[in-house]
């Protein structure tokens, strides 16, 4: 299918889950999910009849990555009570990059814009469930979340002959 742009997204993903049942320690599961994707809209490789999102003489590269992994354990204390422990880590990254194409014979590319955003979190939780009767359930627990980020955005300005940071933030 021709969508008017000579760029096709590239992507890969994976997932897994491993279960380890034990009468003594309960059921432990290890899991993960991840993926990468990218798309390049390259004026340097554009066909004459292609429409472009970018200005003439610019190559646009967009990409993302994500991943999550964790471990859970469900322990049955008796027929009415069980506890669930979870430990999870996740991360997401997105990247936008614009290069200009030099008008010289060497066609040297020069980076004029870059946005790199990295975000993640860690989660630890424990929940205890107690079935009192057919109609009532008592549930309690605690969850700890730690969120973090590292974002950088910069652009090249000819009047300064230098990069200007539009966003440079890190924290949790």
Question: What count of other Cβ atoms lies within 10 Å of the Cβ of residue 161?
Answer: 7
Do 61 and 43 touch, CB atoms closer than 8 A?
no
pTM: 0.77
Do 83 and 107 touch, CB atoms closer than 8 A?
no
List the structure tokens of 112. Answer: 């004029």
Rounded (to 5) percent helix, strand, coil in the chain: 0, 75, 25
Whole-number Cα distances in Å, 57 to 21, 100, 155? 59, 6, 16
What tens digit of pLDDT does each residue of 3-52 get?
555 677 889 999 999 999 998 899 999 999 999 999 887 777 766 666 55
What tens digit of pLDDT does each residue of 74-121 get?
999 999 999 999 999 999 999 999 888 765 556 677 788 899 999 999
């Amino acid at each position: 299918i021709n969508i008017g742009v000579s760029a096709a997204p590239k992507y890969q993903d994976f997932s897994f889950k491993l279960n380890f049942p034990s009468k003594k320690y309960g059921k432990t599961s290890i899991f993960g999910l991840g993926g990468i994707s990218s798309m390049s809209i390259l004026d340097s490789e554009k066909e004459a009849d292609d429409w472009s999102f970018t200005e003439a003489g610019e190559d646009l590269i967009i990409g993302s990555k994500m991943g999550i992994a964790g471990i859970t354990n469900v322990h049955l204390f008796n027929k009415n009570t069980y506890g669930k422990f979870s430990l999870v880590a996740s991360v997401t990254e997105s990247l936008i990059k614009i290069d200009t194409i030099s008008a010289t014979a060497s066609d040297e590319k020069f980076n004029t814009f870059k946005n790199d955003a990295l975000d993640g979190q860690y989660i630890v939780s424990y929940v205890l469930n107690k079935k009192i009767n057919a109609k009532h359930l008592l549930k309690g627990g605690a969850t700890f979340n730690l969120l973090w980020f590292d974002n950088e955005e910069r652009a090249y300005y000819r009047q300064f002959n230098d990069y200007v940071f539009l966003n440079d933030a890190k924290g949790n």
